[in-house]
Amino acid sequence: FDEMIRQVTVNCAERGLLLLRVRDELRMTVAAYQTLYESSIAFGMRKALQAEQGKADMEARIKQLEAEKKDLESQVQELKAKAEAIEKREAERRTQEEKKHAEEVAYLKKANAQLKKELETYLQPSKK
Protein backbone atom coordinates (compact mmCIF):
# COMPACT_ATOMS: atom_id res chain seq x y z
CA PHE A 1 0.00 0.00 0.00
CA ASP A 2 2.89 2.36 0.85
CA GLU A 3 4.57 1.61 -2.50
CA MET A 4 1.39 2.44 -4.38
CA ILE A 5 1.08 5.76 -2.51
CA ARG A 6 4.73 6.54 -3.39
CA GLN A 7 4.12 5.88 -7.07
CA VAL A 8 0.95 8.04 -7.07
CA THR A 9 2.83 10.81 -5.26
CA VAL A 10 5.51 10.79 -8.00
CA ASN A 11 2.86 11.27 -10.68
CA CYS A 12 0.67 13.74 -8.72
CA ALA A 13 1.77 15.20 -5.37
CA GLU A 14 -1.72 16.32 -4.32
CA ARG A 15 -3.21 12.85 -4.83
CA GLY A 16 -0.28 11.29 -2.98
CA LEU A 17 -0.77 13.62 0.01
CA LEU A 18 -4.50 12.84 0.05
CA LEU A 19 -3.76 9.11 -0.04
CA LEU A 20 -1.25 9.55 2.83
CA ARG A 21 -3.92 11.38 4.82
CA VAL A 22 -6.48 8.61 4.06
CA ARG A 23 -3.93 5.94 5.10
CA ASP A 24 -3.17 7.76 8.38
CA GLU A 25 -6.89 8.23 9.14
CA LEU A 26 -7.50 4.56 8.39
CA ARG A 27 -4.68 3.49 10.74
CA MET A 28 -5.98 5.82 13.48
CA THR A 29 -9.53 4.46 13.05
CA VAL A 30 -8.31 0.85 13.23
CA ALA A 31 -6.23 1.69 16.33
CA ALA A 32 -9.24 3.37 17.95
CA TYR A 33 -11.47 0.35 17.19
CA GLN A 34 -8.79 -1.99 18.56
CA THR A 35 -8.50 0.04 21.77
CA LEU A 36 -12.28 0.12 22.08
CA TYR A 37 -12.45 -3.64 21.56
CA GLU A 38 -9.78 -4.32 24.19
CA SER A 39 -11.49 -1.97 26.62
CA SER A 40 -14.85 -3.65 26.11
CA ILE A 41 -13.28 -7.10 26.61
CA ALA A 42 -11.69 -5.92 29.88
CA PHE A 43 -15.01 -4.41 30.98
CA GLY A 44 -16.84 -7.64 30.17
CA MET A 45 -14.31 -9.68 32.13
CA ARG A 46 -14.62 -7.36 35.15
CA LYS A 47 -18.41 -7.62 35.05
CA ALA A 48 -18.25 -11.41 34.70
CA LEU A 49 -15.92 -11.64 37.71
CA GLN A 50 -18.17 -9.33 39.72
CA ALA A 51 -21.18 -11.45 38.79
CA GLU A 52 -19.38 -14.63 39.88
CA GLN A 53 -18.35 -13.01 43.16
CA GLY A 54 -21.90 -11.73 43.70
CA LYS A 55 -23.28 -15.18 42.94
CA ALA A 56 -20.96 -16.81 45.47
CA ASP A 57 -21.90 -14.20 48.07
CA MET A 58 -25.60 -14.75 47.43
CA GLU A 59 -25.23 -18.53 47.67
CA ALA A 60 -23.43 -18.14 51.01
CA ARG A 61 -26.16 -15.77 52.21
CA ILE A 62 -28.85 -18.26 51.10
CA LYS A 63 -27.17 -21.06 53.07
CA GLN A 64 -26.90 -18.81 56.12
CA LEU A 65 -30.56 -17.81 55.91
CA GLU A 66 -31.68 -21.41 55.42
CA ALA A 67 -29.72 -22.46 58.52
CA GLU A 68 -31.25 -19.57 60.46
CA LYS A 69 -34.72 -20.56 59.24
CA LYS A 70 -34.14 -24.14 60.35
CA ASP A 71 -33.04 -22.97 63.82
CA LEU A 72 -36.08 -20.72 64.14
CA GLU A 73 -38.43 -23.50 63.06
CA SER A 74 -36.95 -25.80 65.71
CA GLN A 75 -37.40 -23.04 68.30
CA VAL A 76 -41.02 -22.67 67.23
CA GLN A 77 -41.57 -26.42 67.66
CA GLU A 78 -39.95 -26.36 71.11
CA LEU A 79 -42.06 -23.41 72.21
CA LYS A 80 -45.24 -25.02 70.90
CA ALA A 81 -44.41 -28.19 72.84
CA LYS A 82 -43.77 -26.14 76.00
CA ALA A 83 -47.03 -24.23 75.53
CA GLU A 84 -48.99 -27.46 75.09
CA ALA A 85 -47.37 -28.96 78.21
CA ILE A 86 -48.18 -25.83 80.23
CA GLU A 87 -51.79 -25.82 78.97
CA LYS A 88 -52.18 -29.49 79.84
CA ARG A 89 -50.67 -28.98 83.30
CA GLU A 90 -52.89 -25.97 83.94
CA ALA A 91 -55.99 -27.84 82.76
CA GLU A 92 -55.19 -30.68 85.17
CA ARG A 93 -54.59 -28.22 88.00
CA ARG A 94 -57.84 -26.42 87.20
CA THR A 95 -59.84 -29.66 87.23
CA GLN A 96 -58.25 -30.64 90.54
CA GLU A 97 -59.06 -27.20 91.96
CA GLU A 98 -62.66 -27.47 90.71
CA LYS A 99 -63.00 -30.97 92.17
CA LYS A 100 -61.56 -29.82 95.49
CA HIS A 101 -63.86 -26.79 95.49
CA ALA A 102 -66.89 -28.94 94.68
CA GLU A 103 -65.99 -31.35 97.52
CA GLU A 104 -65.55 -28.44 99.91
CA VAL A 105 -68.89 -26.92 98.88
CA ALA A 106 -70.61 -30.30 99.32
CA TYR A 107 -69.01 -30.73 102.74
CA LEU A 108 -70.03 -27.23 103.80
CA LYS A 109 -73.61 -27.78 102.57
CA LYS A 110 -73.81 -31.04 104.48
CA ALA A 111 -72.36 -29.40 107.59
CA ASN A 112 -74.80 -26.51 107.20
CA ALA A 113 -77.72 -28.89 106.84
CA GLN A 114 -76.67 -30.76 110.02
CA LEU A 115 -76.28 -27.51 111.92
CA LYS A 116 -79.71 -26.39 110.73
CA LYS A 117 -81.22 -29.63 111.95
CA GLU A 118 -79.51 -29.27 115.32
CA LEU A 119 -80.61 -25.68 115.57
CA GLU A 120 -84.18 -26.58 114.68
CA THR A 121 -84.21 -29.32 117.28
CA TYR A 122 -82.97 -26.89 119.92
CA LEU A 123 -85.39 -24.21 118.94
CA GLN A 124 -88.49 -26.34 118.72
CA PRO A 125 -90.39 -26.47 121.93
CA SER A 126 -90.29 -29.84 123.38
CA LYS A 127 -93.62 -31.67 123.42
CA LYS A 128 -94.01 -33.26 126.79
* 87-107 pLDDT, tens digit each: 999 999 999 999 999 999 999
The fraction of the chain above a pLDDT of 70, given in percent, is 98
Distance CA 111, CA 119 (A): 12
| Residues in CB range of 20: below 8 A, 6 or more apart | 5, 9
pLDDT at 16 (0 to 100)? 82
pTM above 0.75, yes or no: no
